[in-house]
Structure 1
Amino acid sequence: MASECMGKSVWPELLRVDGEVAKSTIEEENSLVTAQIVTEGTIVTPDYRCDRVWVWVDETSIVTRVPQIG
């Protein structure tokens, strides 16, 4: 589905980075998305959206999954 979305869609370089830094980087590199920081274990909606990136972080606010559009 990512091919339907405009702009950069995945940020593997942000794995193990501070969540706020990741959020800023994502929104700077693709102005069409909003990055939302989510703590591991939180329940989120399963719908796919081209304007959203989940930034999964641990209890120390470090990114635990590769951020991608969805």
Structure 2
Amino acid sequence: MTAEQATAIIVHDNPLVTVKPILKDSHFIPDFCCNRVWLCIDENHRVYQEPMVG
């Protein structure tokens, strides 16, 4: 599934969340935010891991 498809599904299910794509092997600050969804994508913008709230 592409990042765009996943984002559309997530926002459709809950329009109050913000989807943040992160590239594979990149670093990010793991602070928790209940209205954010991390979308792990590879270099081809395909989702490679289940999205996670945080």
TM-score by length of 2: 0.88
Distance in 2 between the 1:39 and 1:24 partners? Answer: 18
Cα drift, residue 59 of structure 1 = 0.8
Describe the superposition over 1:43-70 as per-residue Cα deviations: whole angstroms up to 9, x where unpaired: 1111111111011011111101101211
Pair 1:26 & 2:4 matched? no
* Structure 1 residue ranges, 4+ long, deviating more than 4 angstroms after superposition: none
Pick the structure with more strand per residue: 2
Percent identical pairs in the alignment equals 33
Distance in 2 between the 1:68 and 1:46 partners? Answer: 11
Question: Which structure's CA Rg is the greater one?
Answer: 1
**CA RMSD in angstroms, aligned pairs only:** 0.9
Instruction: For structure 2, list consecutive stretches of 5 or more residues without a partner in the other structure.
Output: none
Report how many aligned residue pairs link the two structures: 54
Instruction: For structure 1, list consecutive stretches of 5 or more residues without a partner in the other structure.
Output: 1-16
Correspondence list, 1:47-66, <5 A:
47-66=31-50
TM-score by length of 1: 0.70
